Every structure is written in structure tokens, then in C-alpha cells.
């Protein structure tokens, strides 16, 4: 017995080791399995860089309608996928997961129910290269589990909350609050803050109802494929092709880097002809020399041996044939050994049973062998076609030497050099072919799998989710009428074991958290259990059939012995399917398509049973159940497509996010077509698009009495348009038709559309009914926002302010926009600032540096840092300058040299006023520095500040500038390293108030207009520049009236340097104008002349000052500002 146990353990260990070695030897990065069961492996994955492209693996389409891919896996990420566990996450019905922590709740109206939960993902899944998203909004109705801190894996128990104290709380209902949850317990209502909770498992709707609603959002017409992505960061998201988007590169910086690589490759191709001629001339010279040596050696006439051109398309198919033959030989030897082992295991069975088992085993092995042969044929065909295409594109063919020529050449003294020259030439040609292929790919800016960025928007998310493609380890595809069984949570679960521990069940992973595999191949999804085991699933009324494969997991090797059964309803009758004895992990059986008829009672239950088979007198199998680890492989339910289409069609209008609190109805005879529309509102996002014909749409909602005025905001209109369309909309309150407010002007810095605004008045006595109707038409209309608000949106408040200041159509700069949006200024102060701006004053101009205050932009752990030196060292890398620990530091590990840099990336754009570099206890401060800012990390501002560092603190201030990236460039030279223990970002203290006014070259106000400055309580400085249109008496009176304000006179002010900005200047005079840039010291810097009607696009910086002159006289003045062009007009 002792020897038998030792043998069992040894066999088990060898099986595990062999499986690990097998996986380690896999050479291809990607593995894909198609609907017909064929597997394709390869490294060449292309055309997944935008939402319209068709991805291919080794030239084979992955979304071919006739045979789409079933799943795709990146093998390089396997180990990361096995090891990662999210500490906090939100889990949704269906198994999707969003890593992150629920930190808040969104409400449309105060005191109402929660419209969304706010999930902090710590900067992950945001738009690449864009503003970091602080929170993701998810729908509470889709959530089945929320984990703030995962102490241990908890089974799903709806109606229970797990507290950090270890206490388990059962509840009947819950209500979300800001930072807390109210739970209805048996003894009353109790509130728990998020900080008190480990997990909570809310009650959910029927999972089938949720799936139908999910289809109504993802695929209203049931067209195309659904797919699910899983990343090494713990994200699991189900989406559809219509709600998918992609980008080729993460950022402009990455795009430019690849552009430089492309330029380098194209430079190599430009030199191809010259290098090719040189190489061929060298070979020809060696040919002649070898011919002469052979002639003198033989002592008789003879010509030189010519190098023959190839007469076939390379040797790749023959190499494939040899590898294929070796694979088949290995497979046949394994089959023979397995058959011997199987005979020993079945020797106690009757001859008839033994024959049946062997026939099933041989049939399965033969089927796998045929699949290998088929896959080889397809691979060889693709390789030949690819080689032929390469030969067609190739300008010069490779040189090929026969074995006879090689033997003959070796007889000459220079023969080895000739052979080496030919080999080198062929290798160089191959390298140039790869250069040409990569240059073509980069020329189209398609990127690579390591640069692609994919975006999905699942039905449970109100925001798009981005992830780098090289973080996605698995992607599975399925049709809407197909449902992966692993998306359903078992309704019941039973298990019993003799020696094995209670194992439960696992989704898509085995007990070691590895991907499911059996019979020497991997699978995309399924359940892993330990026999004896039962999984029970409640079936929806539209389910028509079930199919799965079944096998022992690869980790058990040749051990284990089980039987699988499938029941419908109960286990009292005959099973729908029963497998043969499964001994070892080298066989996986297919249940085939099992029809699931309706039960008399209406409800149906699918039962998957994995039963130990040790009572069947099968010998040579371990007598215990330790290795009876069973995988239900790629189980799939099929739904009635026609009935499903009817169900989904009737739910689409109930799942439009902005209609959530409204009652939608369609008029008799209305026909509607729904589409997911991708639009950019600051960032790309998907909206519900409706093409309505025949009859109108009606939306209604009852408003309860409330003190105070309310407004209705409606953002809807033609797909792709930033302007709402009030002509197709009618709004009534209690039967009275309302007119929308006039649409305000869009400012250059505003992103997204402007909603229609309807004044609903005050109803503080009785409920009021709001009704909205949309006229039918042939255009696709997007509904983006529909909300009741207690105050108009900021864009309308700005419009009111502009009207009051007499400039309704005034175009605002970012500086004045920051002021009018300020919460620290009153209406009259904002109005005065706008009137001054309208008359040509520059708001918040300052030559001196304004005071700054330390202000962290968001959470400091969301900042990113990179450096020119020591960018990845764990103990002293850049992040140690951001860890709030003054004892740790980033250090260059190199003596200070000019050009070293350190860059901070903030979560989003902000106004910057300075930084502090702390180096306590050392002299590793920068010997010299220059400061730059950028919005995208690619285009940088001019020098904002420069100077010499000091210890223990280098404090740097500069004029306010908006940016997301801040770079410190070291300009000095000394032997000490450059270090930063901690870094702080300063934001100008007065950026949203009027601290300074410049009455300069554009000022055209009257003496009376100077009194507007007296209304600005925050004013600190007034600058005059150039010739003033105001009288000396008026200016003196202003000085006396603003005694505490500093006044500064300047003949001409210099430029200040902000982010890079392009502008267009057009000469609309009748004379040639001279353009002058006012330099950083107010000097003239001539630029190109412009003849009448000519335009010029100039790359400059925000804050740079320009003049236009004719015959030495100034006829135009311009300050660079984003969104503003310069037209030089006739005087």
C-alpha cells in the first residue's frame, strides 16, 4: 500500500511537471479557437486598432460570420492572470467585474434614489492620454457584490453584509447614501459607513431579466457578436461590436515615437538600392575569383559556378512539414502508451464493456489527430500564400546555393568567403523585407498590439472603460442567442468527498487559478469542480438546448476516474447525457447538442453531475477521490432567437440610461430602430440612437411639490451634432407648452453639446406632470441627457452674465472664463470683469509672479512620474518623489549633467503656479533648472522659470499656466547626483479671481469705463502699456480711488510663455503688413511679411504678444490664446 501511495504521488507530480514544461515550450504568443473547434496559433495579430477594422491572426479573420473566433488568449500574460487578485472590486450579475472601491453615490435629485455608484479605480481605465477620470459611474441595479476589503473569498449570499469587525449582518432592503448605506434589519434601520464594510451582497433581479436588458443595450437588433474581455488588472467586461472603440496609440508622444521609428525604417529602405548593388558586386567579384581558383586547380578550362536563382517559393512549407511529422510521431507514441495504460485500467471489465471503452478512446484520439492534420494543412497553405505574396513584392530574389555547388566551392581558397557572402546577402534581404513590412504598417499608423488601446462600455457602466490591449489576457466571443453557462451563478450546489477537502466550484479557472485545460488543449470558459459534485442552474423560458465538453483537468495527469451526467428537472429519471468513464486528463468528451424541452410546471433546472467512478471495479486507478478534478468545458446554452428578438425589442426603450426615471411610450403605428452611437463629449462615449417613424414618442414624469424653481435640461439631437434640435421636441407641464431658453454661444474652451433649457416654474402645492414628445422622422436622434435641475447649468448662467454685461456673443479666453466660473466672486464683480474684457482689458496679466499656495491636484498617489535617468529602479525610482515619505527619494544615480529631466503627470489639466523640490539632509538639489509645462506631454511651453537650486528646499514660482504635465530640466553640471525626496505642485492662489488688469494695446475704454475697476474687490495690480486712450485726470482719479492697488506704467510689455498654441493670422488690409513678435524682453522680433489676402499659420505659445505694422505704424495687436485667430483689418 505504501508503494502504491508513493507511486500515485510521483505520478501526480510528474503529470504537473510535464504540463508546466509543455506550456513553457509554447512558442506562439496568441492562441485562438474558432466556432468549428479549430485552433490557430500565431504571433501576427493585426488590424485591431479601430472599431471598424476586422482583426486577423496569421491572416485569418477573427470575426468571419461563417466561423467566428470563440476565444483568443495572450499566452504571455498567463502567469499574471494566474497571480492577480483585486483587493476591492464591484461584481455585476453575469460575472463582470470592475476593480476599484465604491466611494460615493450619484443622485439626480436631492432625496431621490441613487442613480449611480461612484467607483474610484485609482486612475485605471481612463482615456489614454486624456484627463484622468476620478470616478466611474455604475448602475446599482446591476450589482451583485461590492468588496471594499477582501479578507477571504465569500460565497454569494444576497441580503448579507460583512463588516470589518467580523460581524455578519442580514438585511431586508438597502438604501444608498453619500458614503454610507442604510440597511433595513429585523429590528429597524441602521446606517453603516463604507469604512465599516468589507463586503455587501445586494438583492438582485432575476438574472435572465438582467440578461435580456443587457442585450437591449448592447445589441438591440441581435446583430453582430458580443464579447467579454479579461485583463490582468482584474477587469472583466462584456460588450458588443457596436459599443467598442479602439485607438492605435496611447498618446501623441507614443505616436511621435513610432513616427520616428518609421522615419528610421524608411531611411534604411532609401539606401536599399545602393547597398544591394554593393553586395551583388562583392558576390560577383568573389564568383570570378572562385572560378579562376577552380580553373587553375583543375588544370583545364571551366567557367565560374553561377549562383542559381530559386525555382520555388522558399523552404517554409517544407520546414512546416518536418515539424508536423515530428508532432504526429510524438502524438502516435503517446496514443500507444495511453492505450496500454487504458487496457490495464479496464482489465476487470467484461470484454464487451472493455471494447466499447477502447473504441471511444480510439475514436477520440483519432479525431484529435485529424484536427492536428487539418490545422497543419491550413497553416501550410497560409505560409505558402504568404511566401508567394512576399515573392511578388520582392524586387530582388534571394540567392540559393545547391549542395553540389557548396561542396565544389569549398575546394577553392575563396569558396568559404563566397558562401558566407551569399548567406549574409540572403539574411540582409530577409531583414529588409521585415523592415519594409513594418514600415508599411507604421505608415498607415495602425500601431501594434503593444500600442493598441481598447474601449468598451458595458451595459452596467455609464462611462467608457479603456484598457491597453497588451493587458487583456483573454477575449471570448458569442452570439446574442448564446449564453455562456459560466455567466450564471448556480442556484444550488452539492458536494461530498471521501478524502478530498471541500473544494466548492470555480469559474473559468481550476483549483490552482490556472485556465481550464484537458486533453492537451486549453478552453475559454467553464466550471471546475471536484467530484462528487452537483451544479444546479435555473433556466429561462427561452433556453432550447445545452452543449458542453467534459474532462478531467490537466493538473491530475493520468489519475482520477469520473463519470459526468446532465439532468433536466431532477436526478430521479434518466439523464439527458452520461459520459463514458473518464480516466486521466487525456480525454475530453462532448455532450453534443442536448435539447431542453419545456417542463409542465414551466420552470426548469439544469443539473450537471460529476460522479466518482471508483465503485465500477476499474483497476490501475488511484482508489481515492483526491484527483477527481472535473472541468465542464465551454458549456453553452442556446436560446430561441426569434422569441429572444421579440423580448429584447420590447425592452430597448426601458433601458435608455437618460430615461431611467421617465415613463416612455410610443404612439400607435410607431416603428423604431435603435443603434449605439459613438460621440465625443470631451471624450468618446456611447449613446442610445433612435430612428423613429410613423408615430411620436412620449415621455412623462410626475414631479412632487417642492419649494423653489426647477428646470428641465434636454440634450438630444441628430447623431454627431453638438447642437440640440428643439424643432422635433414639445415640452408641456400640466398641459401647458413651454418654450426653451435661447441657446448660448459656444465658447472655444467648451467641450460637448449645450442642452435645451426649459423653465418649469415653482410647484410647491401639488404634483405636476411633465410631458415630452418627439416627432417621428428619418434621422437618427441621440438622447444624451434628460434631467430635472434645481438651477440652470453653468453654460446658461454664463449666458445670463454675458447678456447683463452687454456682450451676449462675446468670445471668452480661458483666463476670463476661469473668473466668471469662480465661486468667490459675486454677480456684479463678474459683470464688471466681463465689461472690462469686452473693452480690451487683459484679465490677470502679470509680469511679476503671483503668490502660490500648495495644492495637490487630486490624490497624490494618482500622479505619475518619469525621469531621464533611473526611471525603473524599485528602491530609488521616480515614484519615491511622490510617496509622501521624506526619507525615501528619487535619485539620478549619475553626476548632474545638462539635459537631465524629471516629469510629473497630473490626473487632469490644472492651473499651475510653481513647485517645491525637497532634498533634506543632502546637497543633491539641481545645480540649475528650467521649468516647462504641457497639456499632452508632447508639445511643451517655453521656459516658465529658471535658476539655481538650494537645499533643503528649492521653491520655484512662475506666471500662471494651465497644464497637465510639469517638467524640471537640470541645466547645471556637478559631481553630485540629482535627487528629489518629495515634490509639491503650487497652484496660483488668485487664479479664479481678478487679481490684475492690463490696460494695454487693445484697451479702448472711455474715462468712465475706468470706474469698472473699482467694483473688483480682489484687484491687486493695474498695468498700463503703450499709449492710453484715457485722460491723465481720469487715470489720476483712478489711482486715488484705488489706494491699496499697485499701478505700473510700461512703454511695452513683454511676452509671457505658456503651452504651445497654433494660430492663423490673415491680412485683410489693402497693404503688405509686417508681423512683429514682442519678445521676452519686449524687443522686436521680425516675422514674415504678409501681402493683402495672405494667411499664415504660426506655431507660438499662449501669452505671446504680436504686432502688425504698415509703414512703421501699428495696425493690429494680438495675444495668443487657444481657439482665437487673428484677422488684421483695415483701420
Task: Determine, yes or no, domain membership for 224.
Answer: yes
Whether the predicted pLDDT of 749 surpasses 60: yes
Task: Determine, yes or no, domain membership for 314.
Answer: no
Task: Determine, yes or no, domain membership for 440.
Answer: no
Lowest mean pLDDT among 113-127, 383-397, 451-465, 689-703: 383-397
Question: Strands of 136-138's sheet, edge to edge?
Answer: 101-107, 114-120, 136-138
Task: Determine, yes or no, domain membership for 719.
Answer: yes
Please indicate, yes or no, whether residues 1096 and 1009 belong to a single structural domain of this protein: no
Task: Determine, yes or no, domain membership for 235.
Answer: yes
CATH number at residue 549: 2.60.120.1060
Please indicate, yes or no, whether residues 502 and 563 belong to a single structural domain of this protein: yes
pLDDT (tens digit, 9 = 90+) per residue, 164-209? 888 999 999 999 988 889 999 999 999 998 889 999 999 999 999 9
Q: Residue range 87-115: average pLDDT?
A: 85
Long-range own/partner contacts, residues 877-881 (CB < 8 A, 24 or more apart): 878/902, 880/981, 881/980, 881/981, 881/982, 881/983
Please indicate, yes or no, whether residues 953 and 876 belong to a single structural domain of this protein: yes
pLDDT (tens digit, 9 = 90+) per residue, 611-642? 987 644 544 455 567 788 999 999 999 999 99
pLDDT at position 183: 94
| Gap between the terminal Cα atoms of the chain | 109
pLDDT at position 751: 67
CB of 364 closer than 8 Å to CB of 587: yes
Strand, helix or coil for residue 558: coil
To which H or E segment does residue 606 belong? strand 604-612
Residue 1098 vs residue 812, higher pLDDT: 1098
Please indicate, yes or no, whether residues 1071 and 1003 belong to a single structural domain of this protein: no
730 DSSP β-pair partners: 773
Q: Among 414, 410, 392, which Cα is nearest to 402's?
A: 410
Q: Max Cα separation, the chain?
A: 122
pLDDT at position 311: 39
> Can you point out the beta strands (E) in 330-452?
none
Whether the predicted pLDDT of 894 surpasses 80: yes
pLDDT at position 320: 66
Q: What are the Cα distances from residue 207, in Å, to 114, 115, 142, 488, 548?
A: 21, 20, 9, 7, 21
Whether the predicted pLDDT of 25 surpasses 70: no
Note down the domain range covering 1041. Answer: 814-848+993-1050
Whether the predicted pLDDT of 37 surpasses 70: yes
Whether the predicted pLDDT of 990 surpasses 80: no
Judged on CB neighbours under 10 Å (0-12, 13-18, 19+), 778 is exposed
Residue 539 vs residue 328, higher pLDDT: 539
Strand, helix or coil for residue 443: helix
Lowest mean pLDDT among 66-70, 512-516, 824-828: 824-828
Lowest mean pLDDT among 334-348, 412-426, 715-729: 334-348
Pairing type for strands 1021-1025 and 1046-1050 reads parallel
Task: Determine, yes or no, domain membership for 178.
Answer: yes
Pairing type for strands 60-61 and 56-57 reads antiparallel
Q: Residue range 725-749: average pLDDT?
A: 87
CATH number at residue 923: 2.60.120.260
Q: Using CA atoms, how far apart are residues 61 and 58, in angstroms rounded to an integer?
A: 9
CB of 701 closer than 8 Å to CB of 769: yes
Q: Which of 972, 988, 1004 is the last residue of a domain?
A: 988
Please indicate, yes or no, whether residues 771 and 824 belong to a single structural domain of this protein: no
Kindly indicate the confidence band of residue 312, based on its pLDDT and cuts at 50, 70 and 90: very low
Distant-in-sequence, close-in-space partners of 204: CB < 8 Å, separation ≥ 6:
93, 141, 143, 144, 158, 210
Domain count, the chain: 6
pLDDT at position 360: 81
In the chain, pLDDT over 70 holds for what percent of residues?
88
Please indicate, yes or no, whether residues 683 and 562 belong to a single structural domain of this protein: no
Task: Determine, yes or no, domain membership for 343.
Answer: no
pLDDT (tens digit, 9 = 90+) per residue, 796-831? 878 888 887 777 778 888 778 778 877 678 888 888
3-state SS record for 296-345: HHHCCCCCCCCCECCCCCCCHHHHHHHHHHHHHHHHHHHHHHHHHHHHHH
Residue 1058 vs residue 191, higher pLDDT: 191
Q: Among 832, 812, 831, which Cα is nearest to 750's?
A: 812
Calculate the average pLDDT of the chain.
83
Kindly indicate the confidence band of residue 131, based on its pLDDT and cuts at 50, 70 and 90: low
Q: Using CA atoms, how far apart are residues 926 and 930, in angstroms rounded to an integer?
A: 10
Residue 956 half-sphere exposure toward CB, CA atoms < 13 A:
30
pLDDT (tens digit, 9 = 90+) per residue, 628-683? 899 999 999 999 999 999 999 989 988 888 898 899 999 998 988 888 888 876 67
pLDDT at position 74: 95
Q: Which of 949, 973, 988 is the last residue of a domain?
A: 988
Give φ, ψ of 1053 to 5 degrees. -90, 150
Please indicate, yes or no, whether residues 969 and 1006 belong to a single structural domain of this protein: no
Please indicate, yes or no, whether residues 714 and 727 belong to a single structural domain of this protein: yes
Task: Determine, yes or no, domain membership for 773.
Answer: yes
pLDDT at position 446: 81
Please indicate, yes or no, whether residues 217 and 89 belong to a single structural domain of this protein: yes
Q: Residue range 763-779: average pLDDT?
A: 89
Q: Residue range 242-253: average pLDDT?
A: 84
Number of residues written out for the chain: 1131
Whether the predicted pLDDT of 303 surpasses 80: no
CATH number at residue 715: 2.60.120
pLDDT at position 623: 59
Please indicate, yes or no, whether residues 205 and 90 belong to a single structural domain of this protein: yes
Long-range own/partner contacts, residues 680-683 (CB < 8 A, 24 or more apart): 681/751, 681/752, 681/753, 681/784, 682/131, 682/751, 682/752, 683/127, 683/130, 683/131, 683/464
Whether the predicted pLDDT of 849 surpasses 60: no
Please indicate, yes or no, whether residues 831 and 776 belong to a single structural domain of this protein: no
pLDDT at position 619: 44
Q: Which of 404, 435, 469 is the last residue of a domain?
A: 469
Please indicate, yes or no, whether residues 143 and 163 belong to a single structural domain of this protein: yes
pLDDT (tens digit, 9 = 90+) per residue, 390-399? 555 554 566 6
Q: Using CA atoms, how far apart are residues 1080 and 290, in angstroms rounded to an integer?
A: 71
Kindly indicate the confidence band of residue 16, based on its pLDDT and cuts at 50, 70 and 90: very low
pLDDT at position 20: 35
Kindly indicate the confidence band of residue 98, based on its pLDDT and cuts at 50, 70 and 90: very high
Amino acid at each position: 500500500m505504501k508503494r502504491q501511495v508513493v507511486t500515485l504521488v510521483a505520478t501526480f507530480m510528474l503529470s504537473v511537471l510535464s504540463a508546466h514544461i509543455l506550456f513553457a515550450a509554447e512558442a506562439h504568443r496568441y492562441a485562438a479557437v474558432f466556432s468549428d473547434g479549430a485552433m490557430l496559433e500565431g504571433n501576427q495579430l493585426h488590424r485591431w486598432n479601430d472599431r471598424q477594422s476586422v482583426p486577423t491572426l496569421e491572416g485569418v479573420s477573427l470575426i468571419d460570420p461563417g466561423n467566428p473566433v470563440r476565444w483568443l488568449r495572450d499566452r504571455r500574460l498567463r502567469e499574471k492572470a494566474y497571480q492577480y487578485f483585486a483587493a476591492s472590486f464591484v461584481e455585476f450579475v453575469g460575472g463582470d467585474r470592475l476593480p476599484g472601491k465604491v466611494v460615493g453615490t450619484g443622485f439626480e435629485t436631492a432625496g431621490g434614489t441613487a442613480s449611480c455608484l461612484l467607483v474610484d479605480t485609482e486612475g485605471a481605465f481612463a482615456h489614454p492620454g486624456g484627463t484622468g477620470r476620478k470616478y466611474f459611474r455604475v448602475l446599482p441595479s446591476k450589482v451583485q457584490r461590492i468588496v471594499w476589503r477582501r479578507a477571504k473569498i465569500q460565497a454569494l449570499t444576497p441580503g448579507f453584509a460583512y463588516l470589518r469587525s467580523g460581524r455578519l449582518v442580514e438585511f431586508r432592503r438597502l438604501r444608498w447614501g453619500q458614503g454610507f448605506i442604510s440597511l433595513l434589519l429585523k429590528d429597524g434601520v441602521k446606517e453603516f459607513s463604507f469604512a465599516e464594510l468589507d463586503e455587501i451582497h445586494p438583492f438582485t433581479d432575476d438574472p435572465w431579466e438582467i440578461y435580456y436588458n443587457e442585450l437591449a443595450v448592447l445589441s438591440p437588433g441581435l446583430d453582430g457578436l458580443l464579447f467579454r474581455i479579461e485583463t490582468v488588472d482584474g477587469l472583466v467586461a462584456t460588450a458588443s461590436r457596436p459599443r467598442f472603440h479602439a485607438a492605435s496609440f496611447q498618446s501623441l508622444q507614443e505616436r511621435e515615437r513610432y513616427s520616428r521609428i518609421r522615419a528610421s525604417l524608411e531611411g534604411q529602405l532609401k539606401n536599399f538600392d545602393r547597398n544591394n548593388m554593393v553586395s551583388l558586386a562583392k558576390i560577383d567579384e568573389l564568383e570570378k575569383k572562385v572560378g579562376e581558383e577552380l580553373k587553375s586547380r583543375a588544370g583545364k578550362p571551366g567557367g565560374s559556378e553561377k549562383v542559381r536563382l530559386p525555382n520555388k517559393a522558399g523552404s517554409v512549407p517544407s520546414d512546416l512539414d518536418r515539424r508536423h511529422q515530428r508532432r504526429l510521431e510524438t502524438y502516435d507514441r503517446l496514443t500507444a502508451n495511453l492505450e496500454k495504460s487504458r487496457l490495464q485500467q479496464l482489465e476487470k471489465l467484461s470484454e464487451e464493456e472493455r471494447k466499447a471503452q477502447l473504441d471511444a478512446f480510439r475514436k477520440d484520439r483519432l479525431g484529435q489527430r485529424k484536427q492536428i492534420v487539418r490545422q497543419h494543412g491550413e497553416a501550410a497553405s497560409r505560409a505558402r500564400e504568404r511566401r508567394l505574396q512576399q515573392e511578388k513584392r520582392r524586387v530582388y530574389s534571394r540567392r540559393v546555393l545547391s549542395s553540389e555547388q557548396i561542396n565544389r566551392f569549398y575546394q577553392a581558397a575563396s569558396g568559404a568567403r563566397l558562401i558566407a557572402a551569399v548567406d549574409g546577402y540572403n539574411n540582409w534581404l530577409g531583414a529588409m523585407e521585415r523592415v519594409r513590412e513594418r514600415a508599411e504598417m507604421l505608415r498607415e499608423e495602425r500601431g501594434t498590439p503593444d500600442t493598441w488601446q481598447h474601449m468598451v462600455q458595458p451595459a452596467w457602466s455609464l462611462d467608457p472603460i479603456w484598457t491597453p490591449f497588451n493587458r487583456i489576457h483573454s477575449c471570448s466571443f458569442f452570439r446574442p442567442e448564446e449564453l455562456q453557462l459560466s455567466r450564471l451563478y448556480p442556484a444550488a450546489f452539492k458536494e461530498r468527498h471521501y478524502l478530498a477537502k471541500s473544494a466548492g466550484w470555480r469559474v473559468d479557472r481550476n483549483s490552482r487559478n490556472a485556465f481550464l485545460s484537458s486533453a492537451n488543449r486549453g478552453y475559454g470558459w467553464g466550471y471546475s469542480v471536484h467530484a462528487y459534485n452537483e451544479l444546479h442552474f435555473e433556466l429561462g423560458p427561452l433556453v432550447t438546448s445545452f452543449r458542453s465538453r467534459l474532462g478531467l483537468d490537466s493538473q491530475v495527469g493520468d489519475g482520477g476516474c469520473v463519470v459526468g451526467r446532465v439532468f433536466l428537472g431532477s436526478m430521479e429519471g434518466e439523464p439527458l447525457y452520461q459520459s463514458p468513464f473518464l480516466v486521466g486528463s487525456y480525454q475530453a468528451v462532448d455532450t453534443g447538442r442536448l435539447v431542453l424541452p419545456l417542463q409542465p410546471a414551466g420552470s426548469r433546472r439544469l443539473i450537471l453531475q460529476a460522479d466518482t467512478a471508483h465503485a465500477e471495479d476499474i483497476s490501475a486507478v488511484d482508489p481515492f477521490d483526491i484527483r477527481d478534478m472535473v472541468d465542464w468545458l465551454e458549456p453553452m446554452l442556446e436560446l430561441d432567437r426569434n422569441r429572444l428578438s421579440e423580448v429584447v425589442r420590447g425592452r430597448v426603450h426601458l433601458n435608455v440610461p437618460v430615461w431611467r426615471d421617465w415613463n416612455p411610450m410610443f404612439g400607435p403605428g410607431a416603428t423604431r430602430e435603435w443603434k449605439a452611437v459613438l460621440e465625443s463629449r470631451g471624450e468618446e462615449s456611447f449613446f442610445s440612437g433612435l430612428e423613429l417613424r410613423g408615430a411620436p414618442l412620449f415621455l412623462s414624469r410626475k414631479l412632487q411639490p417642492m419649494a423653489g424653481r426647477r428646470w428641465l435640461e434636454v440634450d438630444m439631437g441628430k447623431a454627431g451634432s453638438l447642437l440640440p434640435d428643439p424643432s422635433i421636441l414639445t415640452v408641456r407641464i400640466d398641459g401647458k407648452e413651454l418654450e426653451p431658453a435661447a441657446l448660448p454661444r459656444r465658447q472655444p474652451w467648451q467641450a460637448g453639446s449645450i442642452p435645451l433649457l426649459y423653465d418649469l416654474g415653482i410647484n410647491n402645492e401639488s404634483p405636476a406632470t411633465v410631458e415630452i414628445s418627439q416627432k417621428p422622422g428619418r434621422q437618427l436622434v441621440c438622447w444624451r441627457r434628460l434631467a430635472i435641475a434645481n438651477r440652470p447649468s453653468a453654460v446658461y448662467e454664463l449666458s445670463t452674465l454675458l447678456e447683463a454685461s452687454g456682450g451676449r456673443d462675446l468670445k471668452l479666453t480661458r483666463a476670463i472664463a476661469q473668473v466668471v466660473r469662480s465661486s468667490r466672486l459675486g454677480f456684479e464683480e463678474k459683470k464688471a470683469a466681463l465689461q472690462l474684457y469686452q473693452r480690451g482689458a487683459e484679465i490677470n496679466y502679470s509680469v511679476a509672479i503671483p503668490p502660490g499656495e500648495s495644492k495637490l491636484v487630486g490624490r497624490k498617489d494618482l500622479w505619475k512620474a518619469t525621469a531621464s535617468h533611473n526611471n525603473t529602479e524599485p528602491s530609488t525610482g521616480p515614484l519615491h518623489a511622490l510617496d509622501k515619505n521624506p526619507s525615501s527619494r528619487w535619485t539620478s544615480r549619475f553626476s548632474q549633467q545638462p539635459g537631465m529631466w524629471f516629469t510629473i503627470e497630473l490626473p487632469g489639466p490644472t492651473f499651475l503656479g510653481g513647485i517645491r523640490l525637497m532634498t533634506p539632509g543632502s546637497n543633491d538639489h539641481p545645480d540649475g533648472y528650467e521649468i516647462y509645462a504641457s497639456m499632452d506631454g508632447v508639445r511643451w511651453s517655453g521656459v516658465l522659470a529658471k535658476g539655481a537650486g538650494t537645499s533643503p528646499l528649492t521653491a520655484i514660482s512662475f506666471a500662471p499656466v494651465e497644464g497637465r504635465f510639469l517638467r524640471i530640466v537640470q541645466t547645471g553640471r556637478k559631481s553630485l547626483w540629482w535627487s528629489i525626496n518629495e515634490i509639491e505642485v503650487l497652484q496660483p492662489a488668485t487664479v479664479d479671481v481678478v487679481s490684475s488688469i492690463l490696460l494695454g494695446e487693445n484697451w479702448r475704454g472711455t474715462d468712465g469705463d475706468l470706474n469698472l475697476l473699482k467694483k473688483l474687490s480682489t484687484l491687486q495690480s493695474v498695468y498700463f502699456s503703450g499709449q492710453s486712450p484715457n485722460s491723465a485726470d481720469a487715470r489720476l482719479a483712478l489711482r486715488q480711488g484705488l489706494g491699496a492697488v499697485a499701478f505700473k506704467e510700461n512703454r511695452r510689455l513683454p511676452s509671457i510663455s505658456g503651452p504651445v498654441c497654433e494660430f492663423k493670422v490673415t491680412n485683410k488690409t489693402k497693404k503688405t503688413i509686417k508681423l512683429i513678435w514682442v519678445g521676452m524682453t519686449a524687443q522686436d522680433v521680425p516675422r514674415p511679411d504678409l501681402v493683402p489676402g495672405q494667411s499664415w499659420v504660426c506655431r507660438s505659445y499662449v501669452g505671446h504678444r504680436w504686432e502688425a505694422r504698415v509703414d512703421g505704424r501699428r495696425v493690429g495687436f494680438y495675444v495668443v490664446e487657444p481657439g482665437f485667430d487673428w484677422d488684421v483689418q483695415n483701420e
